[in-house]
Chain A
């Protein structure tokens, strides 16, 4: 599941020192796969659900409680990429603000009926002829 995303991150962020999944919900596998592919990178996942984070705090991937609507920016500092899978559309703007503030790229894999919300400043990522997601590149953060 989301193997195309993992491949994309591996190929394009091989030199990243930090990658953060926003609003990870109940699915930590993607972050773990990215960590496995990029062992040198620190891979963090965040969610506002404190109980969930406490449950997952001991993996290879670090889990931190944070609400992207009111983010604590130090958590994300030095990240090259923030990504989110199937986020509710209401948090798109706060995610973009956060990525802009810390100079990270933002990659969003939306649910199928929320695909049409990506316009100015978003680049469609296509892999194997299918839409993989949408990328917002930070000027500061050149993709390697």
Chain B
């Protein structure tokens, strides 16, 4: 039991409830030490020591006065001035001798404990205001590494204290009306870990909140480089249930932070070539770290964000947990529902499987291994979770509100019986019996094949239920309905939910934005491979869930001004003279690929990698904004040099969006294309002579203009004659049903629309196709001398 007026306490003495004494960071480290987790040895200078410092030096009042003299809560400059003044006061005031003596004495004890005279320590602030819901915004107090000797330590403890008064922290407390004098700060002092590798573990996926995954990011050297974002870390995804590594991303790590033994500070240096591309963690270490993080999460009963460091010594490698804290982003979404039921975590997917019997249900899960358990556990409307059912299970299936099985496909016992009974059912939900917990609440969305954590009100809304009761019929159409995709991360969901026949337009522009640099700058910095890898990964994310359905990748079609937002954009676009008066008509499309073949070659290599290394041969390529036959010929030649040659297995499409392509479509066909896709936005602009960005003439911009329709009709006819596929990926079919009818009638082979329009377009196209069949039959009858009217045929 720690006394609340102690000046110094050792980490092993504190527990998680001692936040008011040692702050959240140290309390957690103490708790972990007690649990047997290896944390760097050390102690905490308590919050009470800081309170006494303020009282005994009487600078608390001075601080208050400084703050109240800062006029107006909305002048950032005044916050900065107040902060500077207060920090100076705190750092220059002499520390009361009894406090300083205890800090010094504890440091000497640490020297003895670690058998390391002048042991280097990390000095970190540990705020006591963790109870503020948004404390993580206000926090960010200072950390000092490689502190050596008693004098330095006393100095840096005071610096940590003063970091409680950064402009941002002052502003935040003022905004929230939180009294400054109530917020105290403790300081953690721990032996520095000379990290060979360091990293962060999230016990859920921080991007989407998926609690079934553990994410580990690691890099060479001290953790600073990783936290500051100066290196891209290796990334490992581990299945929380089985502790199997499900995804591994080893990236080149160019720099690392290491201690500078001369200055006592840290420095950035290049990673030696032999380690640069090597994995910073071995598979066994990854699994061990995942297990450790899972144990820590279990202990705290909430997802954690764990920082770790691996130190190499003569006796081998040692893993230290440097810090653990609750994962706040997703945890904060847990708010008590209005109905007073259990907390709701909005749309966190726990397991996924095949939707075997559509429907929605929310309730408590019962994870049942054998029939006997079923009898004991199952109550009316519970969610039955098991490996697989057989006929003996039917009595319990009848009372279930929903059924989730680990095994099976859409024709298994559970699927058939639940469909007969009208009970929502998901089958083939991997690890469901491990990931779903008995008596926990979940929402089963057996339309999407997903189980969400908690009661997801959005899913259960009456409107959604009503809509669910009328099953959506997705007709099969002769005209293929593809989908447009910009964000590869969403492809899996889009594939699952839309039932699209493929991807008719995979845009590359957002992959480029994710890479975060102008491609020419990347090449200049020797980072071309980074672009190849990032694009290949983006395309893989789309091609995998859609395979074997086709995915048509459209090469990068930024207009020059759209590159300007990227680092390097000004230099390689504006300064290079590419940003003309109308970028839509400027340095873009196939012309650009020929002028800048090195950038285009990177894209080609990415596609080749996807097709050859990832074996995703459903990926094809489309060239945008093709103006001349010569540009097309030259771009195609570059592709061939990069190993992308047309074959029955690899298709080359062009966008048809320039009038020249329309007028010369027969020549392009002979030149060698497998498909065209209309880009109606640019085609309309160029046929009608309307600058799409000029607001004063927009009223006559209309993709349904007869001239545009005639152009499309001509191209479809020529292409059909030559067996070249025709499609559209512009906005017209999404906006105008009459354009859809026009294209179907003209014989377009496919059309590509936004995800939210796929099912609607399929239904629309199915209706049009039926109408065409009917019209055809009538015509046949007319030709045979019949009236053409269809009469009922009565049984004889």
Binding site for B on A (CB under 8 A): 1-2, 25-27, 39-40, 48, 50-52, 54-58, 60, 62, 64-67, 69-70, 72, 74, 85-86, 88-91, 93, 111-117, 119, 124, 126, 129-131
Contact = CB atoms under 8 A, between A and B. Distances in A.
B339 interface: no
Contact of B562 (A54, A58, A67, A112): A112
A116 B731 contact: yes
Interface in B482-523: 484-487, 490, 507, 509-510, 513-514, 516-517
Given A70-B208, A86-B565, 15 more contacts: A1-B570, A25-B516, A26-B513, A48-B207, A55-B230, A57-B140, A65-B329, A72-B329, A89-B754, A90-B487, A112-B692, A113-B679, A116-B681, A124-B695, A130-B694
A91 B487 contact: yes
B486 A40 contact: no
Contacts of B74: 40
Contacts of A69: 208, 490
Contacts of B207: 48, 50, 67
B332 interface: yes
Given A1-B564, A90-B486, A115-B692, A51 B229 contact: yes
Interface string B553-574: 0000101001011110110000
A70 B754 contact: no
B134 A74 contact: yes
Contacts of A62: 137, 168
Given A55-B229, A126-B695, A129-B696, A50 B206 contact: yes
| The 5 residue pairs across chains A and B that have the minimum distance between CB atoms | A55-B229, A116-B731, A88-B486, A126-B695, A26-B516
Contacts of A40: 74
B347 interface: yes
Contacts of A67: 207-208
B219 to A, nearest CB: 11
A1 B562 contact: no
B76 interface: yes
Interface of B: 74, 76, 133-134, 137, 140, 168, 206-209, 217, 226-230, 232-233, 329, 332-333, 346-347, 484-487, 490, 507, 509-510, 513-514, 516-517, 557, 559, 562, 564-567, 569-570, 583-584, 679, 681-682, 692-696, 698, 730-731, 734-735, 754-756
Contacts of A113: 557, 679, 681-682
Nearest to A41: B74
6 contacts: A54-B228, A62-B168, A88-B486, A113-B681, A116-B681, A124-B698
A54 B227 contact: yes
B720 to A, nearest CB: 26
B347 A70 contact: yes
Given A89-B754, A116-B731, A131 B695 contact: yes
A116 B693 contact: no
B346 A25 contact: no
Contacts of A1: 564-565, 569-570
Given A55-B230, A90-B487, A65 B206 contact: yes
B513 A90 contact: no
A74 B510 CA distance: 27
